[in-house]
Structure 1
């Protein structure tokens, strides 16, 4: 008989009652388990998504959350954002446009290591401290006619602050600068206090109201003070520095904030006279370094600008606490004026009169989106003035998962299930053949037993040859020796 290179296996039923039930129940359980596993590993596709809150994106939980990464085919990740030096950014409050001046990180010896770029991942800003507030005033006619019409004196209020945030590598410090000029040229300005109103970000709404009117009041008083003088000051720079204090060790009190326990700022200034400025500059500087002395009648030089210094102090303080509110600073060491109704009411007590005087002269130059009245807590009993922690506003690129289309999902899961079920079946059969069938084949044949022959010798059944199909051969069919 011809013999092919290929062979086939003879099969016969397993002589075990438990084989089929285990195979059936195990197959069902294995199918369910493999299907879930294959949906997790192959049923999702990954795509990129831009978000402003990566923490919220990563906090999204689904049924795959908590699975080992080697079992899940897709993983939720977000990349950090980068800010170049001198780039302009907002916080999540979208109030003041900040510019990144410097970024550094201390080393093990405390030395500052400057960084060329700010790597940021939505960390809350902490312990922001204002280093200085300075106001630049310009009365020259080099400004555009529309800006002169809005306000005869131009001026920009600049604030500088230092904050830090925590990273896996330690603290990262950054120095930020913000410029407030409501009538700046459109090419060099970014909007301030974009979304604040009486109910949303109420503290910043009142900050914008104070700064808008107190800024105009300071510019107007500088212009009025120069009208009667032949050699006028054409520009000035007034710098305010807060009293230094150690964070987490010293505390500003409410009386210090309201200048009741001494001046909150120390002052320095330079003023340039209109005496042939193209040839030589003629500067005057403040002989006093505090508002109380500068505004005193005993100060001769500064008497040329009555009430100017008080207005400058008010504007700088409004800028000071507006920056802190935007950066989320309000704690026991630095209580924020904008979050305390009593202090806010006292600080804005002159706002109604100031707004009335300015509205009559510059009715079209004042933003009508701000308040022109004094804050009264009785008028706003339910207003929320709280200051919350802030983060820098940015877009983060995140990789998220999305379930495949139904047809693609069924095909991928079905193919993977067939492969795994086939392997499982082979492993099950091999285990039974090895540890049950193979072991039974090595045992001696069982002697026949008949109760009627008890006490007689046991007769072993004569070994009968079998054909390849497992059937007994008749004597005529027995293979020849």
Structure 2
């Protein structure tokens, strides 16, 4: 029967203690430092999950309470917060962070750098960009009487729908993007409730605050008040024609555009004017009133001086200037001048008789007195930069649950600590083998240079019954270089002798 024991396919290495005094302290201290460092890094890199969050301010979302921002991205790339740009389609309704007027996005385009060609886009890719270089091209007033709804007619026999056209631009990573905005204002809309008659309607503006947004508070006051003044003037003009048994105006439109030659917004020549009015003569007969034959360009000053019918030009001019200043303020154009709402002298001038203006069966507001009278109760006049108010889809880090967090860190630490330990051992072994080439030999088989052989220690002596698996070393005459070493090992029941000289 064979005495050979079973030999596994796998094997283990013969190990010896390192002869360095620094090895053990280095391993302990280095292990503690490495464990602390790896735990911290693993907590930063894998201690969080990314969760979806809807945000209206992506800059604040990315920076608020996020200490991971200060670490290299290659360590925290999987848990860095991100926000996607908002996609604003053409013909969508938008408003700014000033929460005043509402606009329709009508065009988006860029200029091709090589050819200068205008490249249109179906939507605006927007990421909290500040609105820059906004300008108001024109302001239109669409006036009508009998075509309005009955509840509107109860407030005022005439109504005015203001439509303003503005162009803005934003700076993006792909270059400057231009877009057009159309703003529509109607103080007495078709949805107004009849029960609000005689009250401040507060329509057309999303919100108001006389302390933090005093300029827009005054802008709404001017627009609603002069909206009432213009519609009242149209009502008086129609009544005068009716009293004289003449045909009156049924509807019309007045357009105001910047003159460019005048910088004083108080001047009635600040805008050029154009208009069309329809006089209903009954049946299918009507006349059109236009500035045909008048010297061009036509201004409110000339129309007022010649009392051109209908003589609403001074009030309509003030309404256009109020709308112009309010839009520039709402769009955050801090450098745009002149602006009624950022200049106390101009605002004092245009509100001096605000409490004396006549209007129909409604109340304008929110201010019903002049700027001089209410200045002490409102905040400072100022224009702040604006951004489009929208929502962004963000991914923000959220701390894992305690169980998942501990497990993830332990697993990651074990992997990294094993790697560091192996590197430490390999480095020490490499250094040792350079100093002692025979350091990786087993103690029972090592032959030192010069014929000297280190004797086996007592701990390495074999015990009875183990001679079949371990070599027995015999040293004869160790003091001479020509010594003969006989090694007898039992292998499959047969002795083997190896001689070395």
Structure 1 length as normaliser, TM-score?
Answer: 0.85
CA distance in 1, matches of 2:474, 2:438: 26
Choose 1 or 2 for highest CA Rg: 2
Q: Deviations over 1:189-215 (max 9, x none)?
A: 995322222212100000111111110
Q: Is the 8 A contact 1:210 1:318 kept in 2?
A: yes
Structure 2 counterpart of 1:389, from 367, 385, 404: 385
Question: Which position in structure 2 is the counterpart of 1:257?
Answer: 265
Structure 2 length as normaliser, TM-score?
Answer: 0.82
Question: Which position in structure 2 is the counterpart of 1:366?
Answer: 363
CA distance in 2, matches of 1:80, 1:403: 25
Structure 1 counterpart of 2:405, from 405, 409, 413: 409
Question: Which position in structure 2 is the counterpart of 1:457?
Answer: none
Structure 2 counterpart of 1:120, from 99, 121, 126: 126
CA distance in 1, matches of 2:34, 2:397: 26
Question: Which position in structure 2 is the counterpart of 1:285?
Answer: 290
Q: Deviations over 1:198-234 (max 9, x none)?
A: 2121000001111111101100110111112221000
**What is the CA-CA distance between 1:3 and the residue it aligns to?**
4.4
Q: Is the 8 A contact 2:214 2:378 kept in 1?
A: no
**What is the CA-CA distance between 1:64 and the residue it aligns to?**
2.1
**What is the CA-CA distance between 1:352 and the residue it aligns to?**
1.1
Question: Which position in structure 1 is the counterpart of 2:469?
Answer: none
Query: Is 1:132 matched with 2:138?
Result: yes
Query: Is 1:104 matched with 2:109?
Result: yes
* Alpha-carbon spacing, 1:134–1:340, altered in 2? closer, same or farther (3 Å): same
Query: Is 1:295 matched with 2:304?
Result: yes
Structure 2 counterpart of 1:146, from 128, 146, 151: 151
CA distance in 1, matches of 2:97, 2:460: 83
Runs of 5+ consecutive residues of structure 1 not aligned to the other structure = 246-251, 444-459
CA distance in 1, matches of 2:173, 2:62: 18
Question: Which position in structure 2 is the counterpart of 1:455?
Answer: none
Aligned length: 440
Structure 2 counterpart of 1:91, from 91, 96, 108: 96
Q: Is the 8 A contact 2:56 2:390 kept in 1?
A: yes
CA distance in 2, matches of 1:56, 1:36: 26
CA distance in 1, matches of 2:437, 2:452: 18
Structure 2 counterpart of 1:238, from 243, 254, 259: 254
**What is the CA-CA distance between 1:148 and the residue it aligns to?**
0.6
**What is the CA-CA distance between 1:474 and the residue it aligns to?**
6.4
Query: Is 1:181 matched with 2:186?
Result: yes
What secondary structure sits across from 2:429 in the alignment? helix
* Alpha-carbon spacing, 1:310–1:442, altered in 2? closer, same or farther (3 Å): same
Q: Deviations over 1:108-142 (max 9, x none)?
A: 232211111111111111111111011011011x3
Question: Which position in structure 1 is the counterpart of 2:23?
Answer: 19
Q: Is the 8 A contact 2:169 2:178 kept in 1?
A: yes
* Alpha-carbon spacing, 1:7–1:469, altered in 2? closer, same or farther (3 Å): farther
CA distance in 2, matches of 1:96, 1:395: 18
* Alpha-carbon spacing, 1:382–1:280, altered in 2? closer, same or farther (3 Å): closer
* Alpha-carbon spacing, 1:123–1:316, altered in 2? closer, same or farther (3 Å): same
Q: Is the 8 A contact 1:48 1:399 kept in 2?
A: yes
Question: Which position in structure 2 is the counterpart of 1:447?
Answer: none
**Is 106-115 or 149-158 further displaced after alignment?**
106-115
Question: Which position in structure 2 is the counterpart of 1:249?
Answer: none
* Alpha-carbon spacing, 1:121–1:462, altered in 2? closer, same or farther (3 Å): closer
Runs of 5+ consecutive residues of structure 2 not aligned to the other structure = 193-200, 440-449, 462-471, 477-485, 489-494
Q: Deviations over 1:218-254 (max 9, x none)?
A: 0011011111222100001111111248xxxxxx74x
* Alpha-carbon spacing, 1:95–1:284, altered in 2? closer, same or farther (3 Å): same
**What is the CA-CA distance between 1:63 and the residue it aligns to?**
3.1
